[in-house]
């Protein structure tokens, strides 16, 4: 797919080329198919002296005029500073893309060759299974408190506070801060919009109060 450069020639500092995608290559979803653009940039090798391999690095002033092309004609003008101005048109001559300046950078040809040789045995990206080790349960369960209504399943002696202000007042009078506080959201109505606003506002105000109260520096809120 990325080997569609069929003809290329140059005249002084200007390179001309013709590129195509393989037949039946889908172009839907692409402003300009990446393989077509990549193949067009291969034409810059025509202007290379062969002593140094340079790869595209930075694009400036990119304008797109056409989409869905499966073939392109390339005109690349090489600047004295190593940049190139590139214009792509379709087979009818209509503009596809114009790149005001493309900067290239030198690449280590030997390193690239090594990557190509090892592409299958040592890919750059790989998927692997990582075993998750189950953490041991702490010998002493964390102290808990519930804000709101009681939460089923918790021990009967779990402290219960109707709201965060009540818990804060208890801490101000010497109650040790819980390691883990559970915010039990209030009952809601059957109106989705009203419910969303109500719960969002309630949660936001609780979090703002929590984050600005020194008592809860070492506590977790769920």
Could you give the 3-state DSSP secondary structure of residue 169? helix
φ, ψ (nearest 5 deg) of residue 55? -120, 150
Q: How far apart are CA 9 and CA 210, in angstroms?
A: 69
Q: How far apart are CA 212 and CA 222, in angstroms?
A: 17
**Of 99, 15, 103, which Cα lies nearest the Cα of 64?**
99
How many helices (H) and strands (E) the chain has is answered by 4, 10
Return the number of other C-beta atoms located less than 10 Å from residue 97's C-beta.
Answer: 21
According to the CATH classification, is domain 5-109 in 3.50.50.60? no
Q: How far apart are CA 66 and CA 37, in angstroms?
A: 13
Using pLDDT thresholds of 50, 70 and 90, give the confidence band for residue 50: low
Reported pTM? 0.50
Q: Residue 88: pLDDT above 90?
A: yes
144-221 maps to which CATH number?
3.40.50.11460
The answer to whether 140 and 181 have CB atoms below 8 angstroms apart is no
Q: Which residue has the tokens 């280590």?
A: 108
Q: Which residue has the tokens 């070492």?
A: 218
Residues 124-158 have pLDDT tens digits of 667 788 888 877 766 677 888 999 888 888 888 88
Q: Residue 210: pLDDT above 70?
A: yes
| Boundaries of every domain in the chain | 5-109, 144-221
Using pLDDT thresholds of 50, 70 and 90, give the confidence band for residue 67: confident
Averaged confidence pLDDT in the chain: 85
Instruction: Write down the pLDDT at residue 96.
Output: 93
Query: Considering Cα of 39, then 44, then 50, then 53, what sign does the dihedral take?
Result: negative
- 160-185: average pLDDT: 89
Exposure on the CB side of residue 204, measured as CA atoms within 13 A = 6
Q: Which residue has the tokens 């690349």?
A: 76
């Amino acid at each position: 797919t990325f080997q569609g450069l069929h003809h290329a020639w140059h005249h002084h500092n200007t390179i001309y080329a013709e590129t195509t995608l393989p037949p039946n290559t889908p172009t839907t979803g692409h402003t300009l198919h990446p393989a077509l653009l990549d193949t067009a940039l291969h034409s810059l090798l025509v202007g290379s002296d062969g002593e140094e391999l340079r790869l595209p690095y930075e694009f400036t002033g990119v304008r797109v005029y056409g989409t869905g092309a499966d073939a392109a004609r390339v005109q690349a003008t090489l600047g004295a500073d190593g940049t190139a101005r590139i214009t792509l048109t379709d087979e009818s001559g209509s503009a596809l893309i114009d790149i005001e300046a493309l900067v290239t950078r030198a690449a280590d040809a030997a390193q690239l060759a090594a990557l190509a040789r090892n592409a299958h045995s040592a890919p750059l990206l790989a998927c692997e299974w990582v075993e998750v080790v189950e953490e041991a349960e702490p010998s002493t369960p964390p102290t808990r408190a519930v804000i709101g209504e009681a939460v089923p399943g918790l021990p009967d002696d779990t402290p219960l506070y109707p709201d965060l202000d009540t818990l804060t007042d208890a801490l101000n009078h010497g109650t040790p801060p819980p390691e883990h506080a559970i915010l039990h959201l209030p009952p809601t109505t059957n109106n989705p919009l009203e419910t969303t606003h109500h719960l969002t506002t309630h949660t936001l105000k609780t979090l703002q109060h929590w984050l600005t109260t020194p008592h809860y520096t070492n506590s977790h809120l769920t």
